[in-house]
């Protein structure tokens, strides 16, 4: 199987013809890449990395010696890295970047690989909606029911937060219970479920008819949580709040 390696690059095709003749006279098979492109449009030469003179892998040392003796290469270089050789051959067939220099192709491919690895890792490390809901208690700032603002007024003890002296609390528990502020009543205990990032508030196990405070919270909610703020919206109710911090 042919294994061509780039041994030297020229800006213009005619510069490569002389040394190609010399190498072929020594029995070394030579191939030129991007020769025709630079013949048609000379100003493309730098953009595509010039005219590449390639030899077979097994002829590399012999050809390199001739180039050094002829003054084309000042210092002897070791045989090219096998990885870069294979990468050069592979990436030179990739759409959109096949005419770019080896360095540019390597940069683009490495960048794409890092994006493919890093982006999913970052997304997977972000907390889920379930984790955001249950890892915080929420200080309720506004409640609107059918467009009318309600004033949460829970009977009993209210806990002090960093935001206001007596905050109304909303708490989603992992066991399926959820506590909402009361409306001139004790705090309301309902059940909740999370499906496809929508929150469903359903009636709890309380016997008898639900109180008005319990029933207004029933329904399916879209939910937005960002930078410590929460917005829950159903057909009838809108709840705005922020992450609740207990005072030390």
d(CA 183, CA 240): 15
| pLDDT by 10-residue block (mean), the chain, 248 residues | 82 86 92 77 66 89 89 66 78 82 86 84 71 87 88 61 60 90 83 90 69 82 90 93 63
Residues 6 or more apart from 107 whose CB is under 8 A from it? Answer: none
Instruction: Output b/e per residue, 72-98; b: 16+ Cβ within 10 A.
Output: bbeeeeeeeeeeebeebeebbeeeebe
- Helix segments in 70-184, DSSP class H: 82-91, 102-125, 129-135
Domain ranges of the chain: 4-123, 129-244
Q: What is the pLDDT of residue 159?
A: 44
Quote the tokens at residue 102: 């080896």
What is the CATH number that goes with domain 129-244?
Answer: 2.40.128.280
pTM of the model: 0.47
- Beta strand 183-185 with 153-154: parallel, antiparallel or unpaired? parallel
């Amino acid at each position: 199987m042919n294994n061509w390696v780039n041994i030297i690059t020229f800006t213009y095709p005619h510069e490569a013809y002389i040394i190609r003749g010399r190498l072929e006279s020594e029995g070394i098979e030579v191939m030129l890449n991007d020769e025709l492109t630079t013949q048609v449009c000379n100003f493309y030469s730098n953009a595509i990395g010039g005219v590449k003179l390639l030899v077979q892998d097994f002829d590399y040392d012999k050809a390199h010696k001739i180039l050094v003796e002829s003054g084309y290469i000042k210092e002897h270089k070791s045989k090219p890295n096998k990885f870069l050789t294979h990468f050069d051959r592979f990436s030179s067939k990739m759409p959109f970047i096949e005419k770019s220099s080896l360095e540019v192709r390597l940069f683009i491919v490495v960048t794409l690989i890092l994006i493919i690895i890093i982006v999913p890792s970052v997304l997977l490390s972000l907390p889920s909606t379930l984790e955001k809901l249950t890892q915080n208690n929420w200080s309720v700032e506004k409640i609107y029911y059918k467009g009318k603002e309600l004033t949460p007024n829970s009977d009993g003890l209210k806990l002090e937060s960093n935001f206001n002296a007596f905050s109304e609390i909303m708490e989603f528990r992992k066991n399926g219970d959820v506590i909402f502020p009361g409306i001139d009543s004790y705090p309301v205990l309902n059940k909740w479920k999370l499906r496809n990032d929508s929150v469903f508030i359903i009636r709890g196990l309380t016997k008898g008819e639900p109180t008005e405070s319990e029933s207004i919270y029933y329904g399916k909610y879209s939910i937005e949580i960002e930078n410590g703020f929460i917005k829950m919206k159903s057909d009838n109710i809108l709840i705005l709040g922020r992450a609740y911090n207990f005072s030390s």
